[in-house]
């Protein structure tokens, strides 16, 4: 509920709770938590250096129940990250249909037999695709899946022929490094991220 009312002694108005300064309850309005009318912090003002992963609070991830016909939760809505129920539903559907396992399996196959620059590009794309929605992944899924993805990403760099690395564009290389960095940051605890 949104309302402006500060209860103080000697306030200019009173109700059943006491005297207050501000507006009466007729101006109160119930707004859903994920309403676009409630803007994320710093979205309308300039902000200082801001790390997307510092403020991820995954302590309550265990409270999110599985959707009907799903065996586990892969993604949860996060304030200031993604509150779209449709997107989190689709991510959970994708995970429950085996999509993440398929991506990992395919990436591991390509790493083991990387023959062409196109293989390298596909691998980088797969890792980046998994890493993009990193902030909304469920804590348990992160702890189980991300070490495997991180290892595949590192193997891409270690096993790639020098020619592939030389021929790769700076953008592809930077995207892969950013993806690995995001995956590794998400594996840290909240306290470790804040340091």
- Write the DSSP string, 78-95: BTTTB--HHHHHHHHHHH
* Ramachandran region, residue 168 (left: φ > 0; alpha: ψ -120 to 50; beta: rest): beta
Cβ atoms within 10 Å of 186's Cβ, excluding its own: 21
In a domain, 25, yes or no: no
Helix pair angle (170-187, 139-159), 10° resolution: 140
> Could you tell me the residue range of the domain that residue 102 belongs to?
61-194
In a domain, 168, yes or no: yes
Q: Considering the entire predicted model, what is its pTM? A: 0.64
Phi then psi for residue 159, to 5 deg, are -90, -15
What is the per-residue pLDDT for 49? Answer: 34
In a domain, 123, yes or no: yes
In a domain, 51, yes or no: no
Q: What is the pLDDT of residues 49-63, one digit of tens each?
A: 334 555 677 777 888
- Contacts of 29-37 with CB under 8 Å at 24 or more apart are 29/1, 29/2, 29/3, 30/1, 30/2, 31/1, 31/2, 34/77, 34/83, 34/85
Q: What is the pLDDT of residues 97-132, one digit of tens each?
A: 999 999 888 888 887 776 677 777 777 788 888 888
In a domain, 43, yes or no: no
Q: What is the pLDDT of residues 2-55, one digit of tens each?
A: 556 777 888 888 888 888 877 777 777 777 767 777 776 556 655 433 345 556
In a domain, 112, yes or no: yes
In a domain, 108, yes or no: yes
User: Could you tell me what percentage of the chain is helix, strand and coil, using 3-state DSSP and rounding each to the nearest 5?
Assistant: 50, 10, 40
**Number of domains the chain is built from:** 1
In a domain, 1, yes or no: no
């Amino acid at each position: 509920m949104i309302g402006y009312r500060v209860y103080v002694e000697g306030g200019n108005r009173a109700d059943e709770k006491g005297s207050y300064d501000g507006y009466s309850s007729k101006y109160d309005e119930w707004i859903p938590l994920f309403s676009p009318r409630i803007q994320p912090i710093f979205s309308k003002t300039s902000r200082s250096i801001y790390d997307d992963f510092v403020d991820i609070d995954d302590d309550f991830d265990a409270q999110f129940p599985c959707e009907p016909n799903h065996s586990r939760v892969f993604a949860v809505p996060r304030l200031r990250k993604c509150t779209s129920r449709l997107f989190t539903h689709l991510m959970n559907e994708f995970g429950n249909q085996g999509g993440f396992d398929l991506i990992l399996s395919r990436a591991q196959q390509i790493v083991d037999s990387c023959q062409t620059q196109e293989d390298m590009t596909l691998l980088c794309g797969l890792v980046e695709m998994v890493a993009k929605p990193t902030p909304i992944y469920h804590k348990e899924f992160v702890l189980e899946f991300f070490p495997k993805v991180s290892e595949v990403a590192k193997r891409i760099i270690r096993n790639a022929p020098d020619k592939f690395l030389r021929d790769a564009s700076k953008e592809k290389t930077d995207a892969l490094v950013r993806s690995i960095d995001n995956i590794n940051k998400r594996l840290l605890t909240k306290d470790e991220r804040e340091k």
